[in-house]
A and B are shown apart, each in its own frame.
Chain A
Amino acid sequence: AQIPCINTSAITTYLNNPYVRQSLHIPENITSWEVCSSAVLQKYTFQYDTMKSQYDQIIMAFKYRVLLYNGDTDMACNFLGNQWFVESLGLQEQIQRRAWLFNDGKDQIAGFVKEYQNFAFLTVKGAGHMVPMDKPNAAFTMINNFLKKRPF
């Protein structure tokens, strides 16, 4: 199975190189690596329409931090849908929607963020579905701030 518009030939070639497979301790009887498995997708049963109840439970524990981020040019899982989803959770806004920054020699606007208690919804400006590939510096700044509990 191929991902439309995404070139996966280099990674497919690399991971099917016998020397690479040996380095990764992949048994010889394992079939070729492919980026997505159509067999898995075709046999998959989608049980849920939404993760709202799951997020409600995580939030109600009052001790776990959540970051939802979206490259804002993605159409597979678009930012607006996730913005609506976050709004549907009914969280108390803590910090108003604002620009957040990364540094590429000078401070630049990386996107926009809205923060609630233990919860942030953040966009990455000009990034698509694969945020760390499209905007590596901004993505690294974002995840590092999140993991270290620093402000965005």
Chain B
Amino acid sequence: MNIFRLAADVLHVVSIFLLLLKIKTSHSCAGISLKTQFLYMIVFSTRYLDLFFTKPWHSALTFYNTIMKILFLSSSAYTIYLIRNRYKHTYDKVHDTFRIHYLIAGSAVLALVFHIRLTPFEIIWAFSVFLEAVAIMPQLLLLQETGQVENITSHYIFCLGSYRALYICNWIWRYFMEHRRNQWLAWACGTVQTLLYADFFYYYILSQRQGKKLRLP
């Protein structure tokens, strides 16, 4: 564990907290993509299958990871519940039109072609990594369709993007300090994922400087 990894995870938790705070305080999930949340649910539930096999108390890191995994799984399930049930009438269904089955199918094909080992768990893990890289796309599309972005929603995406960027710092750190090599799959997907946020980052920082609400062109 290094400072980049810890900061990244903290930002990930903060982003989830911001998302729930936005929905709860405004009693509305306007501007939030159900499709992105659904994709995250698939990502977490395919990646964290090892929860069934790993003893949480094996080490301090395993314990930490287990807590985080359960938190990510339960919070994304709860978010989906809020959007689909309690605040259903505020959900922007008309604009949330990204065809996610292409993302899911594409990730599945990529996972069958590129994986660390030819075992079911490795292929499912690769699938989750590919899918996570593109899971934010429906959310970004929704914001582009509607243009005006609520502050708290833009903070949410900013935290999520920063979390990925910090993971890259973490990988560079581990490459040199722990001689951790052969992580090409996670590195490549993590970099692609971070790049997807680049455009958003640009407008976010611009809007923060001007002290205005974020407006996407």
Q: Do A and B bind each other?
A: no
Which B residues have a C-beta under 8 Å from some C-beta of A?
Answer: none
Interface residues, chain A, with chain B CB atoms under 8 Å away = none
